[in-house]
Amino acid sequence: MLARQDLRGHNLAMRHPLREKFESERRRSAFLTFLPAAGIGIIASDTWVAPWAGVPGGLLIGALAYGLVWTYETMMWRRNHGR
């Protein structure tokens, strides 16, 4: 029986437990960064840009913070553990 593989040929059936823990922690830390960044972005956009730009601006800033943390965590994993 062949193991399932993703598009890059990585084995999906056998993931190391440390990798599984990292994946869940990476998503958790990125989400916990999104929340305050979105709140700050809503206040800043509403105050300094325009009242109608509050929520969209906050969500945009939160998404940027999420992406930044997710990318940083991924780079540090690859630096220390390889792919």
Residue with tokens 């990476």, as numbered in its chain: 26
Residues 45, 54: Cα–Cα separation, whole Å:
5
pLDDT in tens, 31-70: 999 999 999 999 999 999 998 999 999 999 999 999 999 9
Report domain extents, the chain: 31-81
- pTM of the shown model: 0.73
- Taking alpha carbons only, the member of 10, 27, 3 closest to residue 82 is 10
User: What residues form DSSP beta bridges with 5?
Assistant: 11
From the CB of residue 32, how many other CB atoms can be counted at a distance below 10 Å?
A: 12
Look at residue 1 in the predicted model and tell me its pLDDT: 46
